[in-house]
Structure 1
Amino acid sequence: MQYIVMDLEWNQSPKGRPMQDRGLTFEIIEIGALKLNEKMEIIGEFQELVKPQLYPKIHEIIQEMVRIAPEELAAARTFPEVVKDFFAWCGDDFRFCTWGTMDLPELQKNMDFYGVENSFPIPLYYYDIQKLFSICFDDGKSRVSLETAVEQLELEKKTKFHRAKADCYYTALILELLDWKKAGRLVSVDYHRLPAAREEEIYLVFPDYSKYVSREFDSKEEALQDKRVASATCYLCRKALRKKIKWFSPNGKNYYCLAQCPEHGFLQGKIRMKKSDSGKTFAVKTLKLIPAERAALLRVKQQEVREKRKIKNQERRQRQKNENEE
């Protein structure tokens, strides 16, 4: 397998996002990529500007970052022409590597907008080098800019950032330094195209947690009523578990639960409710083994949510009582 380190530059409307309802907020104006072999050696490169059709005037903030001359973009080829050659250059057996999670969804949104056939597999796995940098060199949770990562690793800055080819170069340098025994299994999942049916839903097991990606639902309430979404399973022995703490939400978006495996101990469940491009809801659920101390903290968090809800209900009843008395 080969690795395609890809970076995109894009433009948007100077007045905001008037075309968002048409499915394209950001229009790609440059595609850059490096091809790496299994030894993480660079064996090819791709770089081409894209002539903007929807947003021909470059947003001033974008122009300040990328510094592409308008006449260069005016002379460039259109997105369908460029992306066709890009895919031909990629070949057949490869995995995308990007800094962060935005490039692949935006690439596919541009493909949808311009009617370019999407032949990517579902699910589409890729390596998020920003996340892997955090896991290998930082706390595993923080997400820093590419330039900050380069500075932390004390890599030489040979060219300016915020151009596609340059950012690919720096991303490839970091990719080569990763501990691939640790990072190689930690693939990310692209959410642009989601499972269409229950049997297509995604379930992944990593060294210290599991991830499940559901199909779409009309609402988060419908999603939470689904047995597979609401279930808790030990990812080590695959036993279905009874929950010690049922799903609750501190903020109405993320939901938590606590389950206990007789063999492996406490597991914390987390569901992140996300909106799909179609406006529907899908769930991303993770389950992770936690020590008894963190299980106790989860009980405290649940109790705090209950107390806040109790106070709000009391205040609501008091307001209703006052309104009735008036």
Structure 2
Amino acid sequence: MRKIFVDLEMCPIPKEYPAEKEICKLETIEIGAVMLDEEGKEIASFKEYVKPEYATEIPRNIEKLTGIHFSTVRGAAPYRDVLQRFTDWCGDKDFTIFSWSDNDLLQILQETALKKIDDTPQMSYMYHHWKDFQQEYCELFPMDHVMSLEKAMNYCGLEFKGRAHDGMNDARATADLYRAIHNKEAFEEFQEKVLDCFKPKPISNSLSDLFDFSAFQAAVSGT
């Protein structure tokens, strides 16, 4: 079965649309994905920007985070068309789709409802074969909190390639992390690295362990 790793980048719907924001607070501005075959080899990729329907500008903090400016998406296709092309690219069946957290699936469901896009058999299949890889990762290790994709890779000694919060780069990084922790030979090493990050560090038993009092002692003794 093929494995698809996807990442969405979003921007907020302006406050001038309170009713719309009750349904969906964000709009998708990029979809990035990679596809792996049964052996874990990347065989295809998908990357498209999306023109927002409500936003007429992208907030500066989103521009800084994603590198996406409104000029980048001004000439892009609307969400409806890009989503259709993405589901066509995924295929009718025989795949599992993964994202880092369930935010991307929730975004698709809410934005599709807001923009009154009817479900297709392809979309229904995608929804029912979607997995939260962040949850799987955190369940492999005794963590009481979730973490960013970049940090999860760092804990496993993996290098994040390219700019973070780029749809394609994030999707490919998620695939790299998935392959790494599903490699039986490497898993124990990764597990040890991650667990070591959460081991409690020894606490100094005395003030002398924390501070260097030599200068103070010299001043008092007049030496």
TM-score class, shorter: 0.7 to 0.9
What is the CA–CA distance in structure 1 between the aligned matches of 2:127 and 2:50, rounded to whole Å? 27
What is the CA–CA distance in structure 1 between the aligned matches of 2:68 and 2:11, rounded to whole Å? 11
Q: CA offset at residue 21 of structure 1?
A: 5.0
Q: Structure 1's 19 and 9: CA in aligned 2 closer, same or farther, altered over 3 A? A: farther
Aligned length: 180
What is the CA–CA distance in structure 1 between the aligned matches of 2:16 and 2:38, rounded to whole Å? 42
Q: How do 1:57-68 residues align onto structure 2 when only pairs under 5 Å count?
A: 57-68=57-68
Deviation string 1:21-70 (CA, Å, 9 cap, x unpaired) is 55121100000111111222211100000001111211222122011132
Contact 1:100 1:130 in 2 (8 A): yes
What is the CA–CA distance in structure 2 between the aligned matches of 1:28 and 1:17, rounded to whole Å? 16
Partner of 1:110: 111
Q: CA offset at residue 164 of structure 1?
A: 0.6
What is the CA–CA distance in structure 2 between the aligned matches of 1:106 and 1:50, rounded to whole Å? 14
Partner of 2:215: none
Amino acid at match of 2:145: S
| Structure 2 unaligned regions, length at least 5 | 185-223
What is the CA–CA distance in structure 2 between the aligned matches of 1:60 and 1:98, rounded to whole Å? 25
Contact 1:24 1:110 in 2 (8 A): yes
What is the CA–CA distance in structure 2 between the aligned matches of 1:111 and 1:60, rounded to whole Å? 26
Partner of 1:303: none
Contact 2:97 2:126 in 1 (8 A): no
| Structure 1 unaligned regions, length at least 5 | 182-326
Structure number having the greater helix percentage: 2
Contact 2:11 2:59 in 1 (8 A): yes
Q: Structure 1's 130 and 162: CA in aligned 2 closer, same or farther, altered over 3 A? A: same
1:85 partnered with 2:85: yes
Deviation string 1:121-164 (CA, Å, 9 cap, x unpaired) is 4972422111122223x315431100101111111232010111
Partner of 1:187: none
Q: How do 1:130-145 residues align onto structure 2 when only pairs under 5 Å count?
A: 130-136=134-140, 138-145=141-148
Partner of 2:132: 128
Q: Structure 1's 154 and 21: CA in aligned 2 closer, same or farther, altered over 3 A? A: closer
Q: Structure 1's 123 and 62: CA in aligned 2 closer, same or farther, altered over 3 A? A: closer
Partner of 2:74: 74
Contact 1:7 1:165 in 2 (8 A): yes
Q: 1:158 aligns with which of 156, 161, 166?
A: 161
* Greater length-normalized contact order (CA 8 Å, ≥ 6 residues apart): 2
What is the CA–CA distance in structure 2 between the aligned matches of 1:21 and 1:48, rounded to whole Å? 24
Q: Under a length normalisation based on structure 2, what TM-score does the superposition of the two structures give? A: 0.73
Larger mean CA deviation between 13-22 and 116-125 belongs to 13-22
Q: State the percentage of identical aligned residues.
A: 28
Deviation string 1:224-251 (CA, Å, 9 cap, x unpaired) is xxxxxxxxxxxxxxxxxxxxxxxxxxxx
Q: Structure 1's 61 and 96: CA in aligned 2 closer, same or farther, altered over 3 A? A: same
Moved over 3 A (4+): 13-17, 19-22
Q: Under a length normalisation based on structure 1, what TM-score does the superposition of the two structures give? A: 0.51
What is the CA–CA distance in structure 2 between the aligned matches of 1:92 and 1:56, rounded to whole Å? 34
Q: Structure 1's 154 and 171: CA in aligned 2 closer, same or farther, altered over 3 A? A: same
What is the CA–CA distance in structure 1 between the aligned matches of 2:38 and 2:145, rounded to whole Å? 28
Larger mean CA deviation between 112-121 and 49-58 belongs to 112-121
